[in-house]
Structure formats: structure tokens, C-alpha cells
Amino acid sequence: MPTITFLRHAESQSNADGIWSGRSDVPLSRHGEETLEGLGQRLRAQDFDVVISSPLQRARLTAASFAGDNEVEIWDDFIELDLGRWDGMTVEEVMQDGGAELKEAVTTRILPMGGTGETLNQVGQRAISAMDRLADQLGEDGHAAVVTHGGLLQTILHRHLAGGKRRIHAFTENTAISRINWSFGRPRLATFNDLGHLGPRSSLVEEHLSGSDPVVALIRHGRTQANVEGRWQGQGDWGLDDLGRRQAQALVDWYGRTSTVYSSPLGRARQTADYVASNGVIEVDDLRELAMGEWEGLTSPEIAERWGDRMETIYRHGVDLKRGETGESWGELTARFRSAVHALETAPGEPTVVVAHGGAIRSYVSSLTALDDSHAESLFTPANTSVTHVAMTSDGPLLLDYAVAPHLESML
């Protein structure tokens, strides 16, 4: 299972000035330079087989902050998109120069940016091709870090978080981590917009809270013995194991406690919620995990031995059947969980915490996209006690980050 950790470079002077820099080789801002120490401390502890950077200095300097003994390799294919005549303009200037042209370039993905630049489809093809080539080089369990740019990352994320008439996820922030894992022969988004090295609540979360947008924090429960044994828990009522309890405590030490906490009634979620809550926990039945029917408590080989044809139909051919004959379909889980989340009374001024399950959280995030994804296979299941923030805006839910868990890194 190769892994690629993508990072957007630290803040550049153009970012600070509100200028679209594209291929312009601008320096880091003073603030950008100051953020490199925290990023470096976090990432130097990770054992990357290779560190790769865009050729632009804002990416190269960011990569150098954590590369350690690795020599930073320069890959031209990870350079920022070509913005044409819009390079060096502010957003306001771009809108005055060609607002309708920009809208068409973004919605159709076939119109060159700034008249003479790249199309979003061209950037996407370039980025995906480079990413797949790197994954092949890494082999079965290699791990690479790639420092690149916000526009290019948008095209990679499009494969996992494509919106319909609007973008359903926030723009990738400076120094944010987004991770792709290969599983069952395909890339899956494991982490998006992780700024945990800057604190438990990113500036995006604070910005939406201060602007009166409710923010929901979806937290997966801590580890259970069933997780260790590879059992399909479903709605089986497993409790936390020793590591799961330590994960929950580490979550609290990093994220803090909050006053409005909802939870699935299943033991592993409720026990995790008890750690996080400062004012009690409200159980909501529809926050339960996918019902697995006769598969609950069994391992994948045990299920495949008896229901191999059904597993093949669901997971290889994309037919959304009820799990375990008598359980739920993925579509039923998605509708139930999404309705439950959207019906919650949210808290003002702080995230509303929802402690639930990996499959349920993955189904919710996938439901925000325009992808035809029968069991959210474009996403990797969020790690135990990871946090996913969603802002409930007037235009609809906006994914701010996905599966953020810096508190687990010291436990690996």
C-alpha cells in the first residue's frame, strides 16, 4: 500500500499580498518562514523514502524544512498550473479582466486559464500521471512526500472530492497535509487539509465559526479489539481496548473538551464521546454504523468463504446490496446518517462534536460529492479518533478537512 503525503508550500509573499502567482517564482513571506519550524518538527519524525518538490522556491524551501538526510528531488510535473495572463494579478483584477472567462475555465475545465495558460483538465492529467508514476516507483509499501501548490492539489482532489455546481471542499491551506493511500489497487484520499501542527482548530474552522456558520466535528471512535482482529463490527457493541482509551485521551489532550457532543449509542463511540464531552453526551440512534447483518463480528476471509459472490457483486461490480443479507445497503446508511447530522442542533461559537464510526463518516463525506461511488471507495476510512470538520454554510455543507489526527503520530 504505497502512500503519498502531499503538502502545499508555506505562505508565499504573493499569498500574503492576495496575488495569484502561478509559475512566478516568488519567495516565502516572513510568516511562511516562521511556520516551517512547526511543520518540520512534525514531519521529520516520519520516515519518508523520498522527498519531492516542485521546482519553485516556495515549494523547495518548504521541502527542505523536513527532508533531513533525504536529498530533495525536483519534479517539474508538480509545478503550479500556468495561469496565463492572470499570473501576478489579484483576484479582483482577474475578475475585472475576465470573470466570465474564469467561471467557464473552472466549470468546463477545458478553457485555458488566462487565455494562454493550462486548462484544468491538462493540469489534472499532468498531476495524476506524475502521482501514478511515483506510486509505481514506491512499490507496495513506500512512502513519499511531495511539496506542491494549491492549484495543482485542487486537480488531484477533484478525483476524490469532485463537486457538482459548486466546490464542496475548502481550498488547501498553506503547509496543509493531504495524504493518498493505495488500497485494493486504487488511490484513496486518507487525509485532507491537515493543519494539526498549527493547532486543533485551523484558521478555516475559526473563520466559519466567527462568521456564524455552524461547524460539525465528526470524530471516529477509538480502537477496539475488533479493529485489531479485522472484524466487521457494524452495529455490534464493542468497547474500546486499552489503546483505544489512550487514543481518546490523546484526542482530548490535543483537541480539548467541548460542551455540545452527540454520539452513536454503540459502546465504542459513546466511550470516546465521554472523554470529549464537558457537559454530557446526547445519544442519537441514527448515528450508528452500517448494519452488517449476518456479517457482523466476522473477518473478511470468513465472509468471503460463505458470501464470496455477494462480496464480489458489491465491492467489485458496485451493486449496492444489503450487507450480510439482512443488514443495510450503503445508500441506506448514507441517507440515515446524513439526515441525522443535518437535524442536530448545533452550538454557537464552537464545533458541534459528533462521535460516530468510520464507515458512517466516510459515507457522509462521499455524499457531499458528485461522484458515482457506490461505497465511497474514493476515500480511505478515517483513522480512530481522527477529526473531520464540516462547515454548514448557506450554500450547503463545506468540507474543511478530513481525518486529521496529529495526536496519534506519537503513538505509532
Does residue 221 carry a catalytic annotation? yes
Residue 391 CA to residue 410 CA, distance in Å, equals 29
Q: Write the CA distances from 112 to 90, 117, 262, integer angstroms.
A: 18, 5, 46
Find the catalytic residue in 149, 160, 221, 357. 221
Q: Are 202 and 173 in contact (CB under 8 A)?
A: yes
The single-letter DSSP state of residue 396 is E
Torsion sign, CA atoms 62, 387, 408, 152: negative
Q: Which residue has the cell 511531495?
A: 146
Does residue 149 carry a catalytic annotation? no
CA–centroid distance for 44 within its chain: 21
Find the catalytic residue in 289, 328, 375, 407. 289
Alpha helices, H only, 65-113: 91-108
Q: What angle do CA 85, 87, 88 make, to 5 degrees?
A: 120
Q: Which residue has the cell 450547503?
A: 396
For residue 151 the three cell numbers come to 492549484
Could you count the other beta carbons within 10 Å of the beta carbon of residue 121? Answer: 14
Annotated active-site positions, please? 221, 289
